[in-house]
Every structure is written in structure tokens, then in C-alpha cells.
């Protein structure tokens, strides 16, 4: 009995050792693959300034819903006061809301530090009043100075810039084809891409270009995210 049992025990021990070794190799392979995938993941953030508007923002929201994409909207509260439904829709559909300005009037906003902070507070208060969301993202209208950035960060805001544009403000009278090409050109090779677009009433070409901008970056392997 013992002579028969000992070989069987040895065989079981060998098989168990092989199983453990294979399992360790498989785990290592999976970990290495996951790490590489995380490092290679490309992200793009679609960010919209100067809205909301009724028609353009509505069209953009329709496209984003169809494409299952979340974006970030930097709000001008004076624009939103006559478009409460659109502002509410942005929030209800899961997009991020940020403060851009109450008035977008540079002379008024940058008259003093107090004026700048008052403008931010007014816009943030309206966003909260309409949506129940307290915004924590901020984008300067037209720029800003380092000293002002420190003041705004003290208020608890994350200041958001951009590193790519579609050209809907930079290129006069740009059509949709031009906007798609400019977004591709300025976003080339960047990770992440923070793409600046606009959704105020005069930016119909931006809404027209958006599906092709999305298609371009998807083909390049980008994942769409909200801030």
C-alpha cells in the first residue's frame, strides 16, 4: 500500500507546483497588461464656453447623448437666466458645470479683484439656484493673472485652461470643415486633450462639426471624459 501511495503523492505534489507556477505567471501577465493599458489610455475633455444658448447648446446636448459622451460646460449666468431649461438639462444629463462669468464683460469683471470674485460668486450662485449643483471648476474669460489665480483657488475652485482649440473663436467665419481640421491639428499627439469649443448662439458651425470631431478622436483611440 505504501509503495502505491507514495508515487501518487509525488504526482499530486508536482501537479500542484505546476498549477501554482502557471497561476503566478498568468497573474503577472495580467498585471503587466493592465498597467500598460492604463499608461497608454488617451483622454479627451470636451469643454464648452459662453453658453448656454437654446439652439446650439441643445444640438450639442443631442449629439453628446447620442454618442454617450459627458462634457464640461463653463456657464455665463446672464445667458442662462433666459435659458433655465437648457442649463437644467446640462446638469440632468450628467455633464459637468463650471463657472465662466456672470456677464462676460471684461471691463466689469477685471475692474478689481473684488469685482472678479463678485462675478464668480454671482455665476456660481445662479448655477446652484437652478440646478442644485455647487460648481467647483472655473475658467477665466479671456485670461487671468497668477495673483488672481491664487485668490480663486482660495475660494475652492479648480482653474481649467485648455491645450487645443477647434478655432470657432480664433478663425473668423470658420465653417465646420475648418473646425474639424483645427481640432485635429491642435490636439495632435497630446494626452490629455482639453479641447476648447463654444456653445453660444453664433456657434452653429461648432455643433455641425462636433460629430466629426468626436469621430476623429475616437479613431485615434481617445476616451471622452468630463472634468
The full 3-state SS of the chain, as one line of letters, equals CHHHHHHHHHHHHHHHHHHHHHHHHHHHHHHHHHHHHHHHCEEEEEEEEEECCCHHHHHHHHHHHHHCCCCEEEEEHHHHCCCHHHHHHHHHCCCEEEEEECCCCHHHHCCCHHHHHHHHHHHHHHHHHHHCCCCCEECCCCCCCHHHHHHHHHCCCEECCCCEECCCCCCCCCCHHHHHHHHHHHHCCCCCEEEEEECCCCCHHHHHHHHHHHHHHHHCCEEEECC
Looking at residue 63, what is its pLDDT? 98
CA distance linking residue 42 with residue 30, whole number of Å: 20
**CA distances from residue 197 to 36, 48, 166, 170, 173 in whole angstroms, order as listed:** 31, 5, 6, 11, 14
Looking at residue 39, what is its pLDDT? 57
Task: Using alpha carbons, select from 53, 26, 51, 193 the residue that is nearest to residue 123.
Answer: 51
Q: What confidence tens digit (pLDDT) does each residue in 16-28 have?
A: 444 444 443 433 3
Looking at residue 35, what is its pLDDT? 33
Looking at residue 10, what is its pLDDT? 44
**CA distances from residue 212 to 67, 188, 198, 208 in whole angstroms, order as listed:** 11, 15, 16, 8
Looking at residue 59, what is its pLDDT? 98
Is residue 62 within 8 Å of residue 212, measured between CB atoms?
no
Give me the count of residues in the chain: 227
Task: Using alpha carbons, select from 53, 135, 44, 56 the residue that is nearest to residue 98.
Answer: 135
Is residue 119 within 8 Å of residue 125, measured between CB atoms?
no
Residues in the chain with pLDDT values less than 50? 1-6, 8-38
**CA distances from residue 178 to 119, 209, 218 in whole angstroms, order as listed:** 34, 9, 19
Looking at residue 182, what is its pLDDT? 98
Task: Using alpha carbons, select from 58, 140, 148 the residue that is nearest to residue 99.
Answer: 140
Amino acid at each position: 500500500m505504501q509503495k502505491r501511495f507514495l508515487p501518487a503523492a509525488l504526482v499530486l505534489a508536482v501537479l500542484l507546483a505546476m498549477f501554482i507556477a502557471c497561476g503566478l505567471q498568468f497573474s503577472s501577465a495580467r498585471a503587466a497588461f493592465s498597467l500598460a493599458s492604463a499608461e497608454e489610455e488617451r483622454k479627451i475633455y470636451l469643454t464648452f464656453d459662453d453658453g448656454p444658448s437654446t439652439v446650439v447648446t441643445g444640438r450639442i446636448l443631442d449629439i453628446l447623448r447620442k454618442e454617450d459622451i459627458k462634457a464640461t460646460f463653463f456657464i455665463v449666468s446672464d445667458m442662462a437666466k433666459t435659458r433655465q431649461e437648457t442649463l437644467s438639462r446640462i446638469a440632468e444629463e450628467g455633464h459637468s458645470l463650471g463657472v465662466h462669468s456672470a456677464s462676460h464683460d471684461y471691463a466689469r469683471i477685471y475692474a478689481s479683484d473684488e469685482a472678479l470674485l463678485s462675478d464668480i460668486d454671482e455665476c456660481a450662485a445662479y448655477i446652484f439656484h437652478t440646478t442644485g449643483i455647487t460648481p467647483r471648476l472655473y475658467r477665466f474669460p479671456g485670461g487671468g493673472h497668477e495673483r488672481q489665480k491664487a485668490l480663486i483657488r482660495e475660494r475652492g475652485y479648480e482653474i481649467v485652461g485648455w491645450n487645443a482649440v477647434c478655432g470657432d473663436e480664433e478663425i473668423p467665419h470658420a465653417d465646420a470643415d475648418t473646425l474639424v481640421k483645427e481640432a485635429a491639428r491642435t490636439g495632435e499627439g497630446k494626452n490629455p486633450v482639453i479641447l476648447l469649443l463654444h456653445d453660444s448662439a453664433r456657434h452653429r458651425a461648432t455643433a455641425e462639426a462636433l460629430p466629426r470631431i468626436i469621430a476623429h478622436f475616437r479613431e485615434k483611440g481617445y476616451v471622452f471624459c468630463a472634468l
